[in-house]
Amino acid sequence: MLRADRTRESGKRKGGGLAVFVNDRWCNPGHITVKEQLCSRDIELLAVSMRPYYLPREFSHVIAITAYVPPSANADAACDSLHSVVSRLQTQSPRALLIISGDFNHASLDSTLPTFTQYVTCPTRDNKTLDLLYANAEEAYSSSPLPPLGRSDHNLVHLVPVYEPLVRREPPATRTVQRWSEESEEALKDCFESTVWEVICDDHGEDIDSLTTCITDYINFCVDNTVPTRTVRCFSNNKPWITSEIKAVLKQKRRAFKSRDKEELKRVQRELRGLIRNGKDSYRQKMENQLQQNNVGEVWRGLRTISGHKHQNSLPGRDVRWANELNHFFNRFDSAMRQSDTSDTSHLLYSPCSLLPTPNNSIQYTLNTRLQPVSVNHPG
């Protein structure tokens, strides 16, 4: 049990506070640490970091945040304080599973943390849902009510995990990789030395584009016929620094665990930690070399792979009024310039963004990028 006793900063005379109970069969007590603790008139908060025995590979660890918002608290101030804590924790641990639960009363995190999902769908006190649970993972839990505990006036909420790991949701991708070796390099050199390059170059004359395409296709043809290939399966939850050597040691670790050989298991674990450390260093050096070579595209692709970011092309589901508010906000300086300018400059003004109504009530944006030329008269 981890406690966060109420202090005088809460403005209350009676005692109380927050508590987090962790089952020892789910997580080792030595892998539990308190990350944040806050007590004010608007919110009481306790953030605990845990590394359970089993966790899907896409999550590094679990951070559970327990919060209590008093009925007399300022909901906006409480949400701002919670948002600051969550942002700081996400910056420190971008791959952690964040769970926020507690009695929120009149406060809501739907607009403060729009990327989080709220999972409590049943009433928790009379006909009201005051106790909520947010998580930064979709389709993670299903809720059901239980009778109150002791003399409490709040119902218990039973949350059943329904999360499906990423490796099960996305099938493995099949790729063909080339297996380079000294023998394959020598065979490729012999192929190039036996090639009559004049025959390839004479047919194209001075057409440099056609000559470049022909030579490139011929080199790729020689590589495909000389270098052996192998078909591999790439799982969606594999990290970019995981190599075939690390996978082999992982299999040794499973065999040692099944054989219950503790000494062999310790040895394999030490070897595995060293290989993972070397793999991360190699991948870091690869990213740095790409950055030094101005290969920005590969760097961003690598960062997206590490962070698990996926590009979303769809626009958020909002109404036309919200879109108009955004339009007025981002063009407020242009509007002020129009009002302050007394000269006839209507031919220089343009509408940067306009909304078009559609039959299905969706929003379409049109951007006007045609600017009129501006003439400047210098005095004298």
Task: Give 5-46 as a DSSP string.
Answer: E--GGG--SS--EEEE---TTTEEEEEEEEEEEEE-SS-EEE
What sections of 93-120 are H helices per DSSP? none
pTM: predicted TM-score of the whole model, two decimal places:
0.57
Residues in the chain, total:
380
pLDDT tens per residue across span 113-157: 999 999 999 989 888 889 999 999 988 999 998 888 888 888 899
* pLDDT score, position 303: 67
- Give the Cα separation of 212 and 204 in Å (integer): 10
- Spatial neighbors of 227 by CB under 8 A, at least 6 apart, are 178, 179, 180, 184, 188
- pLDDT at residue 66, rounded to an integer: 94
Rounded (10°) angle between helices 320-330 and 332-340 = 60
Region 225-249: what's the mean pLDDT?
81
Instruction: Give 44: exposed, middle or buried? Use CB within 10 Å, 0-12, 13-18, 19+.
Output: buried
How far, in Å, CA of 119 to CA of 144, rounded? 10
Rounded mean pLDDT, 322-327: 78
Over the stretch 172-201, which tens digit does the pLDDT of each residue have? Answer: 778 888 888 888 888 888 888 888 888 888
Question: Is the per-residue pLDDT at 165 higher than 90?
Answer: no
**Mean pLDDT, all residues of the chain:** 80
pLDDT in tens, 27-55: 999 999 999 999 999 999 999 999 998 88
Q: What percent of the chain has pLDDT over 90?
A: 23
Give the architecture (CATH level 2) of 2-168: 4-Layer Sandwich (3.60)
User: Where does the pLDDT of residue 311 fall: very low under 50, low under 70, confident under 90, or very high at 90 and above?
Assistant: low
Please report the sign of the dihedral spanned by the C-alpha atoms of residue 117, residue 123, residue 127, residue 132: negative
Amino acid sitting at position 42: D
Q: Which among 187-201, 330-344, 346-360 has the top mean pLDDT?
A: 187-201
Higher pLDDT among residues 295 and 342, named by residue: 295
Confidence of residue 319 (pLDDT cuts 50, 70, 90): low
Return the half-sphere exposure (C-beta side, CA atoms, 13 A cut-off) of residue 134.
22
Give the span between the Cα atoms of 226 and 138, in whole angstroms: 47
What whole-number distance in Å separates Cα of residue 258 and Cα of residue 26?
A: 21
Overall average pLDDT of the 85-110 stretch: 92
